Amino acid sequence: MSNKSWMLSAAAIKVAKECIKTVEIELSVRLSLTHPDFLQMLNDYAELCDSEQLVRHVQALNRFAAGTAATQAKSSVVELKATGTDHKTVSVPASAAAPLPPAPPQASQEPADRVQYKGKSYPRFMDGKEFRGLYRGQPKYA
């Protein structure tokens, strides 16, 4: 994500530091807030990790990032109207766009050789070993 304006919020930085701390404890990986793809990496680690606390913090951080993007979209529309520039293009703020309808629920057609674990599907057997859970975000077979 190229928009880094969420980093100007002290509350967002506090949440980001909590995320860094949780990822380090859970996965033994030290993230850097200055990394260009910090939010994307954090979202990826939240998917790997079993920590509900990390998922909540990442969701809060994504809301901070989305909030600043929406604010910038609104201000760009206001600037276009104020400057009286080319009216051939129309900008619509994100809040005015109609939300997409929710996807219809699909019946789970999991084959018997797959295991559902914490909302994700994993192969039941790999290399002659059976799925036993996740260890540091990676499937463990024994």
Torsion of CA 24, 40, 1, 94, to 10 degrees: -120
pTM for the structure as a whole: 0.47
Same domain, 78 and 116: no
**Does pLDDT of 126 surpass 80?**
yes
The answer to the question of residue 138 being in a domain is yes
CA dist 19 and 61 (Å) reads 9
At 37-55, the pLDDT tens digits run 888 888 888 888 778 888 8
Q: Is residue 105 part of a domain?
A: no
Spatial separation of the C-alpha atoms in residues 63 and 7, rounded to whole Å: 12
What is the residue range of 131's domain?
111-142
Asked if pLDDT for residue 128 goes beyond 50, the answer is yes
pLDDT of amino acid 80: 47
Residues 62 and 88 in one domain: yes
**118 vs 132: CA distance, rounded Å:** 13
Q: How many domains does the chain have?
A: 2
Which residues pair with residue 122 across a beta bridge? 115
